[in-house]
């Protein structure tokens, strides 16, 4: 059984004022995506890495690959208009068997721990599909200018990545979504919608997604201790 990691990295950084996509921004002297790539390079479970990105940044990615000796990074695939299309493009590019595992992880979640990665792979290997998530701690409510109602937080989670699936499950789910012109927010939504059970693996609030200038600053502070 092989384990493939797919990193969608096609974001344009619209929520920041940066001149280039945040995944290529240097944080304490290292590109953000390099932190993420090293997690998978250093994992004993990962065999191959595929990055889905804008074609203009393939030379940048190749330079990062060489600079940090990311020899598990076997291919760059051109991303699509939506994240879903980018992952699907990458999925179709690999030579995988039905029960090989596909690990999908946001390129801009650079603080994933090896223990969470290992746990998610172990659970997906047994059950077919796994999603890393963290339980909510704050009070949840609905409203606009004022409160409309409150939500019971006991069964509410924040979805994260990695999300890990057997190849045939993710491929089936993505094909069904394509046939029905359905766009999901992540892969677990497509897999659940296709009728598969997705097991929850406990994540960490350190495994945050860098989407804003505030999170870039937070990563800069935390990564100094790495």
pLDDT in tens, 151-181: 999 889 999 999 999 999 999 999 999 999 9
Distance, CA of 16 to CA of 150 (rounded, Å): 31
For residue 123, pLDDT over 60 is answered with yes
Range of the domain at 73: 3-223
pLDDT for 63-93, tens place per residue? 999 999 999 999 999 988 899 999 999 999 9
The dihedral sign for the CA sequence 121, 125, 131, 134 = negative
**Mean pLDDT confidence for 194-213:** 96
Q: Which CATH number belongs to the domain containing residue 198 in this structure?
A: 3.90.550.10
Question: In sequence order, what are the residues at sequence separation of 6 or more whose Cβ sits closer than 8 angstroms to the Cβ of residue 87?
Answer: 6, 8, 52, 104, 174, 187
Q: How many CB atoms lie within 10 A of CB 80?
A: 16
Q: Report the percentage of the chain scoring pLDDT > 90.
A: 88
- Total domain count, the chain: 1
Q: How far apart are the first and last CA of the chain?
A: 32
- Residue 162's nearest CA partner among 197, 196, 114 is 114
Q: pTM of the prediction?
A: 0.94
């Amino acid at each position: 059984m092989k384990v493939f990691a797919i990193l969608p990295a096609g974001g344009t950084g619209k929520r920041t004022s940066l001149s280039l996509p945040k995944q290529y921004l240097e944080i304490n002297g290292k590109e953000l995506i390099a932190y993420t790539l090293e997690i998978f390079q250093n994992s004993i479970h990962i065999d191959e890495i595929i990055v889905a990105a804008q074609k203009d940044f393939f030379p940048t990615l190749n330079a990062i690959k060489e600079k940090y000796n990311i020899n598990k990074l076997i291919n760059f695939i051109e991303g699509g208009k939506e994240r879903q299309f980018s992952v699907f493009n990458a999925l179709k590019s690999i030579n995988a068997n039905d029960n090989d595992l596909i690990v999908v992880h946001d390129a801009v979640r650079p603080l994933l721990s090896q223990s969470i990665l290992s746990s998610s792979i172990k659970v997906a290997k047994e059950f077919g599909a796994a999603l890393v998530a963290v339980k909510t701690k704050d009070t949840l409510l609905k409203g606009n200018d004022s409160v409309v109602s409150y939500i019971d937080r006991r069964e509410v989670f924040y979805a994260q990545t990695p999300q890990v699936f057997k190849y045939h499950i993710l491929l089936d789910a993505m094909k069904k979504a394509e046939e029905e012109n359905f766009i999901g927010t992540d892969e677990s939504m497509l897999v659940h919608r296709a009728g598969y059970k997705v097991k929850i693996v406990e994540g960490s609030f350190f495994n945050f997604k860098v989407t804003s200038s505030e999170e870039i600053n937070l990563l800069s502070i935390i990564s100094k201790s790495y």
